[in-house]
């Protein structure tokens, strides 16, 4: 979704992206030099294995619940909850049923994708 030359519009995050059987679906809402905003929908039993990212990230639960393992610590993220994940800290996403989340990746000075 580009913010240039676009009329303002209120959108419902839960309705912007639908679950797909046995898949993780994503939709980039904003991409610019400061960072990215991506909406994810995880079907039950689908997740993201442990990985790291070179940027700080804010995760916001949109629908459902998931276990987020951050630096070896297990946390539960539900609808309306948020979690700051520091750059370069290993993390994984393990949904507990269908789960939607908004991921905001913030680039620091001098960081590139």
What local confidence, expressed as pLDDT, does residue 66 receive?
A: 97
Label residue 109 by pLDDT band (50, 70, 90): low
Q: Where are the alpha helices (DSSP H) in the chain?
A: 13-16
Residue 43 and residue 20: Cα distance in Å, rounded? 6
pLDDT reading at 63 higher than 50: yes
CA atoms within 13 A on the CB side of 31: 7
Kindly list the structural domains of the chain, giving each domain's residue range(s) and its CATH number in brackets, ordered by start: 13-106 (2.60.120.10)
What local confidence, expressed as pLDDT, does residue 108 receive?
A: 72
Residue 52 and residue 39: Cα distance in Å, rounded? 18
pLDDT reading at 1 higher than 70: no
Q: Which two tokens stand for residue 58?
A: 């804010």
Residue 68 and residue 56: Cα distance in Å, rounded? 15
Residue 105 and residue 36: Cα distance in Å, rounded? 5
Residue position matching structure tokens 């994708």: 113
What local confidence, expressed as pLDDT, does residue 110 receive?
A: 54
pTM exceeds 0.95, yes or no: no
Q: Which two tokens stand for residue 69?
A: 């393992």
């Amino acid at each position: 979704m580009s913010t240039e030359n676009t009329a303002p519009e209120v959108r419902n995050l839960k309705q912007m992206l639908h679950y797909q059987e046995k898949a993780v679906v994503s939709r980039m809402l904003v991409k610019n030099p400061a960072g990215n905003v991506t909406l994810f929908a995880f079907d039950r039993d689908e997740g993201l294995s442990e990985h790291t990212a070179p940027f700080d990230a804010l995760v916001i639960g949109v629908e459902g619940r998931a276990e987020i393992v951050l630096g070896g610590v297990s946390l539960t993220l539900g609808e309306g909850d948020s979690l700051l994940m520091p750059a370069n800290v290993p993390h994984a996403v393990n949904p507990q049923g269908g789960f939607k989340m908004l991921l905001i990746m913030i680039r620091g000075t001098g960081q590139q994708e």
